[in-house]
Amino acid sequence: MIGSLEHHQRAGRNRRAEAVRKSRGRWGLDFADLEAISAEEWVLRLHFLPDESGDDQPVPRQLDLRHIQITEGAHDLPARLQPSSLAQGEEPEIIFVELSANVPWQDLDPGTVFRVSLVDLAGVDAHFSSGRFGFAPLGQIPQPADTKRTEDQSLAYAHSYLAKDFHSFRTMMLERLRLKEPRWLEQNPADVGVTFLEAVAYVADQISYFQDAVATEAYVGTARHRLSLRRHTRLLGQLPHEGCGARAWLSFRVEGQRVDLAPNLVASTTGNRPIRFMTLEPKQCWGAHNEMSIYSWGMHPHVLPEGSTSAALRGHFPELSLGEVLIFADGAARHAVRLCESPILTHDGRDGEAITRIKWFAADALPVSMSVSLADGSPDTTMFGNVVPADQGRFVEVHGDALGWKDTQLRIGTGGRPVLHHQPWEAEIMRFRPALECLTQAPLGAPAAIEIMEARPNGRLCHWTSQPDLLQSRFFDRHFVAEIDDDGDLLIRFGDGALGRRSPPPASIRVFLRQGTGPAGNVGVDTLKALAHKVRGVVAVTNPVAAVGGRSPWQAKQIRHGALSRRDRQKRCITPQDYADLARCHPLVHNAAARISWTGSWHIASVWVQPQKGDVVDPQLLAEVDAYLRPHRMMGVQLEVMPVAPVHIDICLRVHCQANEAAGAMVRRLRRELSDLPDIGGRPGYFYPGHWGIGEPVYQGPLLARLAEVPGVRWVDMLRFSRADQAVEESDIGLIPVEIHEVVRLGGPRPHGGIDIAVEVT
């Protein structure tokens, strides 16, 4: 009951104070407090109600010492303290009253309560004309510094450490102001004080964000920005996947005998948002190479079987040379090959017709059979020449005000079109590599397609080179690091004078970017048909095969997962299994096996590889695998890379079939079942090369079970079951052993093994 009464009294007093503040010509004393300046100096502070009427006069103008009366005790007896002087306080509503005592200060009772009253002063509200204050000895009265510290400590105690954003900072500061200035109740957003407070809250929100960002971006497991993740993964010895641009073969149709094409010709798709490709090297095009026919040797129909690495062209083409890329086109089936030998101009001995023999790399072997001619003799497969490699994207020049400099960093907006990454095209090297390999790019190692040219004062142009980092750069190296942020913008970092040369003057450089669309560049067949500029002698352009290799850059989640998953990946070869596993990672290797042997002085790591296509291993592939494995070998270990050795088998069977079966038809059926053909009635033959791994032996049981599935077979007797290069009979143990570096292959004509089948009708 008492608490409710006190509450109503406080509410009534607050309403009365509000009315006084808003009334013109009326004043009121809010409260008073005593402050010790020294042992002999005391100041009484009078706090008046703030003026909200518009007069901006919270203290009466006529106030002087005769209007201030101080009484003592509960009965308001004349006090032993008397005002001696007045002074304006630090705020308009505060008045300082210096006090003097009629007795020594030490004789005053510490428990005495004093009242200060405003008397004989017009306009003072009766309810706010006086105020009480207490007295205590100097040692018990907080000094001004102590008072401020206690005030701050009490406010700090109420501070919420959960305030980390704009709204929580704003709320916290409003509460602090209410504690420090109880009369400040303004909430209008247009108020100057509220505006200033919100500006401070905004700055605090920005600082709080950076505090959280530092803690968040400090670890690869919590970082969110691509730049932070890229640098974390670089510290782990990895580079993130920045994506890769697509690559394609363009075939030009020209008129006339010869047309010379310059590099950087732009071909694009048609439509509102074309996808552009730029040629990578110059090319001499010949009208005779627009379309070439494959010679059928007078056989109709004629087919080039799967795995073929040679053919003959109808007519003489003396301009064809080693390293030329040609494209087979059999309807929807398209395949690019690169000539590994100089073409041979000759004639057919039957009718003397001119032909050109060509041979291409084993890695470019035909993936499917291609029909050369139909039954009526008309050609069915066309060979396209005048083929030029092209990379996705087009160069955009940026210079001057478009370059956003900040210290030694350069930020370039890409407008939503990312900067592409490509493996550098080295024409002299690519000329001796298979066509399939030329379109294959490793996105993890592809640098950004950026060129920076610096114009020196002497007129010389200097080229700056992109690097994955500057840790190995010397102070005079013109190196830079290109990074892609979350918005797709390009950030270029230069050196600091110790690791890499300092950034050049902004006005002296020009930046050339190749921009594209990543995976959207994997366009289909015959879609790049538009040339950006007309070229004399060029009739048409197209891409006979689809573009490949376009990849999007890894997002933050993929970078984090990729870095952590590759962290524990083996980067050195210790055991034979390490050598074999690493060799299988090569894109042109299908399978591999390894063995480490001791020579008496050192170890030899022997690695046998099986190519992706065919059985013939190109010497260049062996050299590439050797270079691929060599950085991972242990010191003191000699490395040798060899092709797998084929093991031909020698099998003799006696098959007992049903009485209604023809012996000849049964033999053909059984030979077909045990052949190395890729498809016989919906499944491959038993000795199809893709079914046999390196070092895998041949068991007798599964072979007999396969023969038992043939309709008409009653049982099979195994008469001979051995390797063709050995006279040892293996039928007793039921398997043909194969060494770790060997692979089973069906034997050819004698003495290279084979399968003999004798049929008995029972």
Task: Return the structure tokens found at 589.
Answer: 């290797």
What lies within 8 Å, CB to CB, of 53 at 6+ separation is 21, 22, 23, 24
- Asked if residues 95 and 87 have their Cβ atoms less than 8 Å apart, the reply is yes
Q: Which of 328, 282, 248 is nearest to 550 (CA)?
A: 248
Sequential DSSP letters for 558-597: HHHHHHHHHTTS--S--SHHHHHHHHHTSTTEEEEEEEEE
Residues in the chain: 762
pTM of the model: 0.61
Helix (H) or strand (E) holding 423, with range, is: none
Q: Tens of pLDDT along 163-211? A: 889 998 988 888 777 777 767 777 788 888 889 999 999 999 999 999 9
Q: Tens of pLDDT along 585-623? A: 888 888 899 999 998 899 999 999 988 776 677 788 899
**Residue 109 confidence (pLDDT):** 67
Q: Which of 612, 268, 248, 276 is nearest to 439 (CA)?
A: 248
Helix (H/G/I), strand (E/B), else coil: 673: helix
**Pairing state between β 538-542 and 589-598:** unpaired
Sequential DSSP letters for 355-372: EEEEEB-GGG--SS-EEE
284: left (phi over 0), alpha (psi -120 to 50) or beta: beta
Residue ranges of the chain with pLDDT lower than 50?
A: 1-3, 139, 141-157, 749
What lies within 8 Å, CB to CB, of 653 at 6+ separation is 670, 707, 716, 717, 718, 719, 755, 756, 757, 758
Residue with tokens 């195994």: 718
**Residue 569 confidence (pLDDT):** 67
Within 632-760, residue ranges assigned H as helices are 663-673, 700-708
- Asked if residues 609 and 643 have their Cβ atoms less than 8 Å apart, the reply is yes
Q: Which of 597, 609, 585, 608 is nearest to 637 (CA)?
A: 597
**Residue 9 confidence (pLDDT):** 67
Question: How far apart are the C-alpha atoms of 385 and 317, rounded to whole Å?
Answer: 11
Q: At what angle do helices 700-708 and 663-673 cross, to 10 degrees?
A: 130
Q: Tens of pLDDT along 320-358? A: 999 999 999 987 889 999 999 999 999 987 778 899 999
Within 585-657, residue ranges assigned H as helices are 619-629
**HEC-encoded secondary structure of 97-137:** EEEEECCCHHHCCCCCEEEEEECCCCCECHHHCEEEEECCC
Residue with tokens 């048909």: 529
Residue with tokens 């907006």: 413
Question: How far apart are the C-alpha atoms of 331 and 710, rounded to whole Å?
Answer: 36
Task: Return the structure tokens found at 583.
Answer: 């060799």
Helix (H) or strand (E) holding 211, with range, is: helix 192-217
**Residue 251 confidence (pLDDT):** 94
What lies within 8 Å, CB to CB, of 108 at 6+ separation is 80, 101, 135
Helix (H) or strand (E) holding 737, with range, is: none
**Residue 156 confidence (pLDDT):** 45
